[in-house]
Chain A
Amino acid sequence: MTSTADRLVEFDEVLTRYEPVIGLETHVELGTASKMFCGCATTFGAEPNTHTCPVCLGMPGSLPVANAAAIEATIKIGLALGCRIANWSRFARKNYFYPDIPKGFQTSQYDEPLCVAGHLDVEVDGTTHRVEIERVHLEEDTGKNLHVGGATGRIHGADHSLIDFNRAGIPLVEIVTRPVPGAGRLAPEVARAYVTELREIVQALGVSDVRMEQGSLRCDVNISLNPVGDLEWGTRTETKNVNSLRSVERAVRFEMRRQAAVLDSGGRIVQETRHFHEDTGTTSSGRSKEEATDYRYFPEPDLVPLAPDADWIEKLRAELPELPAARRTRLQQEWGISGTEMTWLANAGALGLVEQTVAAGASPGDARKWWLGDLARRANEAGTELGELAVTPAQVAELVRLVNEGTINDGLARQVLDGVLAGQGDPAQVVEAQGLAVMGESDELVAAVEAAIAGAPDVIAKVKAGKVQALGALVGAVMKTTRGKADAPTVKRMLEERVLGS
């Protein structure tokens, strides 16, 4: 299986001799409540084989009925990608034998998919790359295999396998691009940007939670190389199991380097399925080609054709939300920020959070400052996503308001944030509970100021001699005795009044 040491050509060198063509097949598990052709629940993480019935187990005599919400979600994805929606579409049986497929075939679509001929524009390094969409079709997911007796769950060397059919029959949308030539050295980034943008779109449509780590968005990456200037594309490989955005980029990069080495040595690329290995960032040759793709597709006799009429399609089009690209353009304008700043926000996953923080009353500048600054650092330290931090946009907006009102200063605000993240309540509650508000000109502050003056006669002498900036040391001393709770400008004024008598 794995050739342990594939020879690799340096990435930059690959580009001197070869041009890559990439293509992506993305599977999105829809977030419907019930399965594609039966009423079994789709809840993730249920006890194995508790969500099955005669239909999704493929029992003889059972009859499937298509889930209306899944059809509508698929059409919406097609519309968002600028596809033409077919006015006549059918399901087909894709026949193959594998234990995770109870019926002996997967109900899919073949030559009559629901949506065809769309496109998605992605931006990489300031240039726009158009990725043409060949088709968007609807099928069903398979069960899950657990391999026993081999090394850590691998199928190779396993003694036997255990199957959970809970996932079998969950609606799965497949989005297939046309081959994308011309990306050159940006091919890995274009592939990643495409999947990122597709994920954003599906998320905006609200039809799937698109969590790659849970497998509700999965990617197969096709790559071929041809000598620079050749009109004919090379033989492609298809890399499966690419389950993170970063891995999409790594898989393209690795295959380009591996294929270049094979071609350099006069070898030929084998058209095959390859597996991506998350730990090493490499690919290895996949399943045997002995029974290469004789799926014997034929129209599914148990499901009648789909014929979406114009009214239905237009109703769905009217329901489309603002799409991510349009939203970014609008927010960039509203917030008056540059394209680069917008890219940072989007890449940090902070766009929605900043938007909600602004909606809760913060200025765009303050909202960005907190999410990209302190909160980004904390998320980074904790190794989580920004959105998973235990603080809501409304709480960040409240924090900003408390700072702007002068109730707390930036330093105190960080302590307040600690409290919020530790689950001690909203910012105002934390301020109250821990007494973190900035001190007014209280007796305590007056005492601290007078103690500082009394304790530093040398500094006072300097100030009186005209070196006014020496007062800064006393401001620092007062801030220290008040543990940061004093307002620095107030302290400075109080010191000046007492030392200079003004």
Chain B
Amino acid sequence: MSSISREDVAHLARLSRLAVTDEELDRFAGQLDQVLAAVARVGEAAVADVPPMTHAVPLTNVLRPDEVTPSLSRDVVLAGAPAAEDGRIRVPRILGDAE
């Protein structure tokens, strides 16, 4: 059962901002299919009276009080950015020429 198409992979790649070659689209489609098939076995155990689970621990309401704690120094923050200007992180043009 091949449920992941080349188009699906291309779409995911675009959403993830990943450059994927034509050859990789075919390869990843096959690989992702196998991954999905493995995960699909969970469905066999998930019968109607088992509610969907997103957390492995039976915890709720884990909260912290509204208290300020120290932030990082700005120099440290900006050192991790590819580029900075005027205390801010510099990024390339957001809108392309077409827009």
A50 touches B74 (CB 8 A): yes
- Inter-chain contact A41/B62, CB cutoff 8 Å: no
Q: Is B2 among interface residues, defined by CB-CB distance under 8 A?
A: no
CB of A70 within 8 Å of the partner chain: yes
Chain A residue nearest to B63 in the complex (CB): A68
Interface positions, chain B 53-88, Cβ under 8 Å from A, are 54-55, 57, 59-72, 74, 77-78, 85-88
Given the complex, which residues of B lie within 8 Å of A162, measured CB to CB?
A: 85-86, 88-91
Report chain A residues within 8 Å CB of B77: 49, 52, 57, 165
User: A145 near B15 (CB under 8 angstroms)?
Assistant: no
Chain A 145-156 interface 0/1 with B at a Cβ cutoff of 8 Å (1 = within): 111100000011
Q: Which residues of A lie under 8 Å from residue B17 when comparing CB positions?
A: 97
A218 within 8 A of B: no
Q: Is the CB of B91 within 8 A of A99?
A: yes
Per-residue interface assignment for chain A, residues 291 to 328, with 1 indicating a CB less than 8 Å from any chain B CB and 0 otherwise: 10010100101011111100000000000000000000
Interface residue from B87, B93, B98 paired with A159 (Cβ < 8 Å): B93
Is A66 at the interface (CB under 8 A from chain B)? yes
Closest CB-CB distance, A158 to chain B, in whole Å?
Answer: 6
B69 A52 Cβ-Cβ under 8 A = no
Nearest CB to that of A90 among chain B residues?
B54
A39 near B69 (CB under 8 angstroms)?
yes
User: A306: which B residues are within 8 A, CB to CB?
Assistant: 60-61
CB contact between A165 and one of B59, B89, B95 (< 8 Å): that residue:
B89
| A95 pairs with B68, CB closer than 8 A | no
Within 8 A of B (CB), among A353-401: none
Q: Are A66 and B89 within 8 A (Cβ)?
A: no
In the assembled complex, B40 has its CB within 8 A of some CB on chain A:
no
Q: Flag if A67 contacts B64 (CB, 8 Å).
A: yes
Question: Shortest beta-carbon distance, B78 to chain A, in Å?
Answer: 7
| B54 CB to nearest chain A CB (Å) | 4
Size of interface on B: residues with Cβ below 8 Å to A = 37
B22 neighbours in A (Cβ, 8 Å): none
B94 CB within 8 Å of chain A: yes
**A interface bracket (residues with beta carbon within 8 Å of B):** 35 or more
A38 to B68 Cα, complex, angstroms:
8
| B66–A67 touching, CB < 8 Å | yes
Contacting pair A68 B66 (CB below 8 A): yes
A301 CA to B56 CA in the complex, in Å? 9
With a cutoff of 8 Å between Cβ atoms, the chain A residues found around residue B86 in the complex are 48, 162
Does B92 make an interface contact (CB < 8 A)?
yes
| A262 CB–B CB distance under 8 Å | no
Chain A positions within 8 Å of B72 at CB level? 52-54, 57
Residue numbers in B under 8 Å from A99 (CB-CB): 91, 94
| A41, A155, A304, most chain B CB atoms within 10 A | A304
Complex CA distance for A171 and B13, rounded to whole angstroms: 31
Judged by a CB distance under 8 angstroms, whether B23 is at the interface is no
In whole angstroms, how far apart are the Cα atoms of A41 and B67 in the complex?
A: 8
Q: Residues of A contacting B61 with CB < 8 Å?
A: 304, 306-308
- Is B99's CB within 8 Å of the partner chain A? yes
Determine if B68 and A48 form an interchain contact, defined as CB atoms under 8 angstroms apart: no
Q: Is A26 an interface residue (CB 8 A)?
A: no
From A68, A147, A164, residue with most partner B Cβ within 10 Å: A68
Asked if A65 contacts B93 (CB within 8 A), the reply is no
A196 to chain B, nearest CB (A): 28
Q: Are B71 and A65 in contact (CB under 8 A)?
A: no
Closest chain B residue to A68 by CB distance? B63
- Report A-chain residues with C-beta under 8 Å of the C-beta of B90: 160-163
Query: Does A47 sit at the interface, judged by CB under 8 A?
Result: yes
Q: How far is the CB of B59 from chain A (nearest CB, A)?
A: 5
What are the residues of chain A within 8 A of B78 when measuring CB–CB? 49
> Quick check: B66 and A32 within 8 Å, CB to CB?
yes
A138-150 interface code vs B (CB 8 A; 1 in, 0 out): 0000000111100
Task: Report chain A residues within 8 Å CB of B99.
Answer: 1, 156, 287-288
Q: Does A239 contact B (CB under 8 A)?
A: no
In the complex the two chains form, is B64's CB within 8 Å of A40's CB?
Answer: no
Given A158-B94, A162-B85, are A53 and B55 neighbors across the interface (CB < 8 Å)?
no
The contact of B71 among A53, A155, A291, A308, by CB within 8 Å, is A53
Give 1 or 0 for each of A50-77: 1 = CB within 8 Å of chain B CB: 1111100100000001111111000000
Instruction: Looking at the assembled complex, report how far the CB atom of B77 sits from the nearest CB atom of chain A, in whole angstroms.
Output: 5
- Contact partner of B54 (CB less than 8 A), chosen from A69, A147, A299, is A299
Q: Identify A160's interface contact among B54, B60, B67, B92, CB under 8 A.
A: B92
Asked if A500 is an interface residue, CB under 8 A from chain B, the answer is: no
For B14, list chain A residues within 8 Å (CB): 291
Q: A39-B69, A155-B95 are in contact. Are A305 and B60 (CB under 8 A)?
A: yes
Is there an interface contact between A70 and B60, defined as CB atoms closer than 8 Å? no
- A95 CB to closest chain B CB, in angstroms? 7
Is the C-beta of A228 less than 8 angstroms from some C-beta in chain B?
no
The answer on a CB contact under 8 Å between B15 and A95 is yes
Choose from A164, A294, A305 the contact partner of B15 (Cβ within 8 Å): A294
Chain B residues closer than 8 Å to A48, beta-carbon distance: 74, 86-88
With A40-B69, A160-B93 given, can you name 19 additional A-B contacts, CB distance below 8 Å?
A34-B66, A39-B67, A39-B68, A48-B87, A49-B74, A53-B71, A53-B72, A65-B64, A68-B64, A68-B65, A69-B66, A95-B15, A99-B91, A155-B94, A156-B95, A162-B88, A294-B11, A299-B54, A305-B60
Residues of A within 8 A of B (CB): 1, 32-34, 38-41, 47-54, 57, 65-71, 90, 95, 97-99, 145-148, 155-156, 158-165, 287-288, 291, 294, 296, 299, 301, 303-308
Using a CB–CB cutoff of 8 Å, the interface residues on chain B facing chain A are 11, 14-15, 17, 54-55, 57, 59-72, 74, 77-78, 85-95, 98-99
